[in-house]
């Protein structure tokens, strides 16, 4: 009886470990390029929960991985949600007319300001985020292909939420 139980447990664990990708909810990715610096560096190892948004709503500041084009996946931060207005002027991002608090960029913005330069040199005119989409930006604002270039991201393009960077949990 104990032997059968142990064999059953081994078979179940082995099936899970070697099972199809459909059963794996957290997938590994490796970041490429500087578009999410300072939060994510090139070659950082990302844990992406592909099922997260089945039970949770997309929120401001979520870091997501999505299909940007055929065979091209991007990692960006959610800035605005459906129905919200978005506008970018220098280092200020406005959501519904209010300056967005971005503590994850404070040090980079302060460093650029101390040098007499803006951190972000790319503006975006006010637009409303359509239903079923989000507006995303890279943290490296002047060096990121994001919604300012590729448009709003449809919910069905989203692969999942980044829940870990180099083994450290991310909210």
28: CATH: 2.10.109.10
Residue 17 forms part of a structural domain? no
How many independent structural domains does the chain possess? 1
Decide if 35 is catalytic.
yes
Residue 7 forms part of a structural domain? no
Are the beta carbons of 139 and 38 closer than 8 angstroms? yes
Which two tokens mark 48?
A: 């992406």
Residue 111 forms part of a structural domain? yes
Residue 2 forms part of a structural domain? no
Residue 6 forms part of a structural domain? no
Q: Summarize pLDDT for 13-56 with one digit per residue, the tens.
A: 333 343 444 456 999 999 999 999 999 999 999 999 999 999 99
- Mean pLDDT taken over the chain: 88
The residues near 117 (Cβ < 8 Å, ≥ 6 apart) are: none
More confident residue, 120 or 11: 120
Residue 153 forms part of a structural domain? yes
- Domain span at residue 97 reads 22-169
Determine the Cα angle at 82 with ends 123 and 146, to 5°. 35
Are the beta carbons of 130 and 152 closer than 8 angstroms? yes
- The pTM assigned to this predicted structure is 0.85
Residue 15 forms part of a structural domain? no
Q: Summarize pLDDT for 88-104 with one digit per residue, the tens.
A: 999 999 999 999 999 99
DSSP 17-74: HHS-GGG--EEEEE--SSTTTTTS-TT-EEEEETTHHHHS---TT-EEEEEEETTEEE
Structure confidence at residue 70 as a pLDDT band (50, 70, 90): confident
Distance CA 162, CA 59 (A): 12
Which of the residues 8, 45, 73, 76 is marked catalytic?
A: 76
Residue 154 forms part of a structural domain? yes
Decide if 76 is catalytic.
yes
Which of the residues 35, 47, 144, 147 is marked catalytic?
A: 35
| Per-residue model confidence (pLDDT) at position 26 | 94
């Amino acid at each position: 009886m104990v032997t059968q139980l142990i064999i059953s447990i081994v078979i179940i664990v082995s099936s899970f470990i070697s099972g199809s990708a459909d059963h794996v909810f957290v997938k590994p990715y490796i970041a490429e390029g500087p578009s999410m610096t300072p939060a994510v560096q090139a070659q950082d190892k990302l844990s992406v929960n592909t099922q997260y948004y089945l039970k949770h709503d997309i929120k401001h500041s979520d870091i997501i991985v999505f299909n940007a084009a055929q065979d091209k996946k991007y990692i960006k931060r959610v800035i605005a949600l459906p129905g919200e207005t978005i506008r970018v002027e220098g280092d200020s991002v406005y959501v519904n007319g209010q300056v967005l608090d971005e503590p994850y960029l404070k040090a980079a913005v302060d460093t650029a300001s101390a040098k007499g330069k803006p951190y972000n040199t790319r503006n975006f005119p006010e637009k409303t985020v359509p239903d079923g989409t989000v507006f995303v930006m890279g943290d490296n604002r002047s060096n990121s292909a994001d919604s300012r270039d590729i448009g709003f991201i449809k919910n069905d393009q989203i692969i999942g939420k980044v829940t870990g960077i180099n083994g450290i949990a991310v909210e």
